[in-house]
Chain A
Amino acid sequence: MWKSAETLLASALLAGALAVSGMAVADPQPAKPAAKAEKDKAGADKARQAVNVAAPAATAPTAAKTIALGRPALPEEIAAWNIDVRADGEGLPPGKGSVKEGEELFLQNCAQCHGEFGEGAGRWPVLAGGRGTLKSERPEKTIGSFWPYASTVYDYVHRAMPFGSNLSLSPDQTYAIVAYLLNLNDLVAEDYVLSKDNFPKVDLPNEANFYDDDRETSEKAFWKKNPCMKDCSGEVHVTARAQILNVTPDGDQPKGNLE
């Protein structure tokens, strides 16, 4: 026996004390009103309960009170983390910013990766242009050519940009940068001022070209009952080989891009 009776008793007392101090050791009498539990003084009774909890024959663990877990979120806590902006404008903070202010902010904070006109530098994302390329071999998926909602630009710029110092832009600064990006995509004029009030009026041109997953109908043919097992095709030939690998940064870059 590795544990003395005294040690066990001490453990039981400790467990009883914990239960009384509100740390929610599973209560074998879950229906007991809190007021009555309060009156229930720590002592031999409580200790025995704790022992019972630990014993195999005790009340099932489902009796544990989840009510004791978690606590109400305070309004100011919610406000601190509640940064999402939805397509209908819900979540936009008060504020405004002009294309002109946005241009200055963009040149300071964004252009080193995205180019002065959103044309992209290196492998960083292109943000402007690309209209009419989505059916081509090299689609350019920008805010103007691809993104369905302007709200996403606001949300993402504030949430995750500038890369390396995210959550640093004020609402006015974010409005201004979004205004500049809309202007770069020929969606608003140079004298435009974007604000919480006029935001819902900004539509992006590609919105109508998104539709919900339809694979279960459009790809129904992939649910085949009995796939072919023998002589399924004629002579098979290699039609393409992996190009010699370009895993080194100085090598030629294969086609394709991970987003």
Chain B
Amino acid sequence: MSDTSLPPTERATGAKPSLSRRRFLNLAGIGAGAVAAGGGSALAAPAAGTPDPNIVPVPDWTKTLGAPVNENPYGKPSVFEKDVVRREVTWLTASSQSSVSFTPLYALDSVITPNGLCFVRHHGGQAEIDPDKYRLMIHGMVDKPLVFTLEDLKRMPGRVNRPYFLECAANSGMEWRGAQLNGCQFTHGMIHNLFYTGVPLKTLLDMAGVNPKGKWVLAEGADAAVMTRSIPLEKAMNDCLVAFGMNGEALRPEQGYPVRLVVPGWEGNMWVKWLRRLKIGDQPWQQREETSKYTDLLADGRSRRFTFVMDAKSVVTSPSPQAPLKHKGPNVLSGIAWSGRGTIARVDVSLDGGRNWTTARLDGPATPMSMTRFYLDFDWAGQELMVQSRAMDDTGYVQPTKQELRAIRGTNSIYHNNGIQTWLVRSNGETENVEVG
């Protein structure tokens, strides 16, 4: 990519090519920038025997004082990373208050999602709640209906820290009928993986004293959608958390500040944000988000309901359409895998569209219902690749192909699409979302 194609600010800073909407549309532009990075680019190696201008002379940043310690009291990413942001697909929804902004998975590594980059899904906009005025009510089939303040929750014995992924049930939902969106940010970006701090929901329910006939919990948010979901009591007592922290700091407002529900391994819609109420009952409430939505319409016209668990799934995040291959020779293929049923046991990678597979290297923690990072170090000679990944969890579940999924479910499910993703890497490094057969 020639420098003249960059906006002036980027030319000045030498920033990497930005993923502006226009350039994003122009796949050829990304491709040209991929392998052909040549003369004039800061990335380019100098001619043999010529000193690298990034070494001789010594760069200015080595010879001048930098910014003071408190330049940014909270802290911000490098200016050169300004394109690593959440993105919205405006045509998906009728309103930006009931919409989604996607995690830029293509630019992230390791297993923890930075707080500001976690995908955001609201149904009635982002509520802003004064923590001093926050209240959580527990009532219904209990001995003692109770009200808690945020301070009560923070003083509660038995606080825990747990890493979990949160995936929207509709993640990859636009891909049921075929390859549509060109980037893992959009095909798979309704997921994040965080360390939550909070109190086991069981602690609070035990304090209220659940009636033996109680079988379900209604969780309700304090936002303008007053979001509700029915959760089986067994799950609530098993591993759900009432969380007030994410990655070591308070929940972000868009993630439910000051308190959200954590429902490990289950679809994100159940992780009610701005949690205000928990009601115990003896049957599910058949709320809108568990009847009209978040049910899976199958080819025979019938629908599955209460499909809570997120099945094992994986995606290669690099290379991917927004992260094309830039160099021949050594490359690191990187991706993420997760399962709502347990721990990721193995991930296989194919570079030829699923004919042959190599087991990838898992690195970092692999814990139940949390994201796991995988790598495949490979040499690229510039040939066309059809990149796939296939996750397996410790229950023996193997991520299916999209064809296998469609054979059972048809194409109208919207939710729970965990089929194997294929990226086509062209000889110039340009990468596209495709399907193979």
Bound complex: CA A102 to CA B414 (Å): 32
- CB of B46 closer than 8 Å to a CB of A: no
Q: Is B139 an interface residue (CB 8 A)?
A: yes
B432 in contact (CB, < 8 A):
yes
Q: Taking the nearest CB of chain B, how far is it from the CB of A130, in angstroms?
A: 12
Task: Choose from B228, B356, B392 the contact partner of A159 (Cβ within 8 Å).
Answer: B228
Closest A residue to B208 using CB positions = A70
Inter-chain contacts of B157 with A (CB < 8 A): 61-62, 64, 66
When distances are taken between beta carbons in the complex, the residues of chain B under 8 Å from A124 are: 94
* B41 interfacial contact with A, CB 8 Å: no
B258 at the interface (CB under 8 A from A): no
Residues of A within 8 Å of B305, CB to CB, are 210-213
The reply to whether A245 and B25 form a contact with Cβ atoms under 8 Å apart is yes
Chain A nearest CB, measured from B124 CB (Å): 6
Residues 172-218 (chain B) with a chain A CB within 8 angstroms: 173-183, 186, 203-204, 207, 218
A83 to B173, CA, bound (A): 31
Q: Tell me, in angstroms, the Cα distance from A69 to B149 when the chains sit together.
A: 9
Q: Which residues of A (85-104) have their CB < 8 Å from a CB of B?
A: 85-88
Stretch at the interface among B7-15, B294-302, B369-377: B294-302
B209 to chain A: closest CB distance in Å?
A: 12
Closest to A212 in B: B306
Residues of chain B in range 62-119 having any CB-CB distance to chain A below 8 Å: 87, 89-95, 97-98, 100
Determine whether the beta carbon of A246 is less than 8 Å from that of B291: no
A32 sits at the interface (CB 8 A) = no
Q: Which of B51-59, B246-254, B275-283 lies at the binding interface?
A: B275-283
Any chain B CB within 8 A of the CB of A55? no
| A84→B285 contact, CB < 8 A | yes
B-side contacts of A36, CB under 8 Å: none
A227 touches B348 (CB 8 A): yes
Q: Which among B180, B277, B348 is the interface contact of A243 at CB below 8 angstroms? A: B180
Give, as a whole number of angstroms, the nearest-CB distance from B349 to chain A: 11
Q: Is the CB of B433 within 8 A of A241?
A: yes
B225 within 8 A of A: yes
Contact A258 B100 (CB under 8 A): yes
B286 contacts which chain A residues (CB < 8 A)?
86-87, 148-149, 151-152
Cβ of A228: which chain B residues have Cβ within 8 Å of it?
Answer: 357
Does chain B have a CB within 8 A of A105? Answer: no
Chain A residue nearest to B226 in the complex (CB): A159
Q: A241, B291: Cβ atoms under 8 Å?
A: no
Assess the A155–B404 pair: CB atoms within 8 A. Answer: no
Q: Could you mark each residue 10-40 of chain A with 1 if its beta carbon is under 8 Å from any beta carbon of chain B, else 0?
A: 0000000000000010000000000000000
Task: Provide the bound-state CA to CA distance between A229 and B388, in Å.
Answer: 13
Q: Which residues of B contact A259 (CB under 8 A)?
A: 170, 173, 293, 414
Please judge, given known A-B contacts A66-B203, A71-B147, A211-B304, whether A113 and B357 are in contact too, CB under 8 Å.
no
Give complex CA distance A61, B27 in Å: 59
Contact of A156 with B181 in the complex, beta carbons under 8 Å: no
